[in-house]
Amino acid sequence: MHFLLTGGAGFIGSHLTEQLLATGHSVVCIDNLDDYYSSDLKRSNIAPFHRHHLYTFIEGDIRNGILLESLLQKNSFDMVIHLAARAGVRPSVENPSLYVDVNVNGTLTLLEAMRQAQVTKIVMASSSSVYGNSSTIPFTEADACDRPLSAYAASKRAAELLAHTYYHLHGFDITCLRFFTVYGPRQRPEMAISQFTASISNGYPITLYGDGSTARDYTYVTDIVSGVLAAIKNLGGFNIYNIGGSAPVTLLSLIQHIEKGLGSKAVINWQPMQPGDVEQTYADLSLARKLLHYEPTISIEKGIEQYIIWFHQNNTLTML
Ligand code: NAD
């Protein structure tokens, strides 16, 4: 198949690209290498793909409708995979308008360009953050998701709602995938596992927000890629699926896994919970299991072990 992939230079996008190219698909990646974290890291994520004959990289912004429309008109894409976003919960508290601009207006610009070019199939990344502090645990897709706790969460939910209108009004086939805290090689450098691993390994203290009891449903990146591939295969109508590990881990337990993997103890700088953070995330996978045959395969022990192997090989690239 021939894919247009937005945000393909990022963490998840580079893993997905690897898999798509390895299985004979062609990928046109559009990414503006934004300043959320080092563009050098993103360039290094995609460096191996440039010599692949089925890969094209375009440095561009999803908010540029003219660029998107001409790309979509000139190519005959089978499907769009939309991962481009301003990621991260905490910075969205400080800069909400940028998050709305990229994640809502950017998504709308993409959907509209697709409509103009009559490309109507799209799989797009959403987030477990849309659940806020939902009282239904584990989180199920039937939840109203109308109490987001950050602009990031609200922007991802708004993008899902816009997607639904394109399904309803224009007959798009759209699947929104709610990813649950993704980790693995090339993870975004500001995320907890990257920060903790780099700090503990280099003998620096780590900052822990809250009392360590908050929990996240960590999902290894290859499981996320499997979820995206399953969604591509089963696209039809409008659907939302949780793609998680379905095994929440507390922050303190996560630190213990990293300490064990590195063979070093963490020095902890305790700080209060951050605004926008949720207490826990926990994916109910019933729907994804039933309709996508999705099943996470990498435990947190195995995933941290693999991440640390990668970290030791790439320590110089990881930012503190
Ligand atoms: P990432 O920041 O590594 O990748 C996002 C990519 O989008 C980056 O390469 C960035 O340069 C690009 N981008 C940002 N704004 C753009 C714009 N205006 N135009 C074109 N490209 C733009 O993040 P990631 O962790 O790989 O996340 C990928 C997707 O998955 C995002 O939609 C994110 O919201 C979602 N998600 C990620 C996680 C996670 O834990 N990593 C969890 C839930 C949802």
Q: E strands along the chain, which residues?
A: 2-6, 26-31, 55-59, 79-82, 121-127, 173-179, 182-183, 206-209, 215-216, 219-220, 238-243, 249-250, 268-271
Angle at alpha carbon of residue 164, lines to 25 and 158, rounded to 5°: 100
User: Is the Cβ–Cβ distance between 203 and 315 less than 8 Å?
Assistant: no
Confirm or reject: Cβ of 13 under 6 Å from ligand 1. Answer: yes
C-alpha count within 13 angstroms, C-beta hemisphere, residue 149:
18
Q: What are phi and psi of 283, to 5 degrees?
A: -85, 125
Question: Residue 268, Cβ neighbours under 10 Å: how many?
Answer: 15
What is the per-residue pLDDT across 65-94, written as a single tens digit (0 to 9) for each?
999 999 999 999 999 999 999 999 989 999
Residues forming the active site: 152
Going by alpha carbons, the residue nearest to atom 6 of ligand 1 is: 7
Q: What's the rounded Cα separation, in Å, for the pair 42 and 32? A: 10
Please give the average per-residue pLDDT across 236-247, as a whole number.
97
Confirm or reject: Cβ of 296 under 6 Å from ligand 1. Answer: no
C-alpha count within 13 angstroms, C-beta hemisphere, residue 225:
20
Q: How confident is the model at residue 308 (pLDDT cuts 50, 70, 90)?
A: very high
**How would you class 216 by CB atoms within 10 Å of its CB: exposed for 0-12, middle for 13-18, buried for 19 or more?**
buried
Going by alpha carbons, the residue nearest to atom 21 of ligand 1 is: 31
Q: What is the pLDDT of residue 277?
A: 83
| Residue 17 pLDDT > 60 | yes
Q: How confident is the model at residue 97 (pLDDT cuts 50, 70, 90)?
A: very high
Confirm or reject: Cβ of 82 under 6 Å from ligand 1. Answer: no
Confirm or reject: Cβ of 127 under 6 Å from ligand 1. Answer: yes
Question: Residue 167, Cβ neighbours under 10 Å: how many?
Answer: 18
Share above pLDDT 70 across residues of the chain, in percent, rounded to a whole number = 98
Q: What is the pLDDT of residue 316?
A: 56
Q: Which residues of 291-318 are buried (b: 16+ CB within 10 A; e: fewer)?
A: ebebebebebeebbebbbeebeeeeeeb
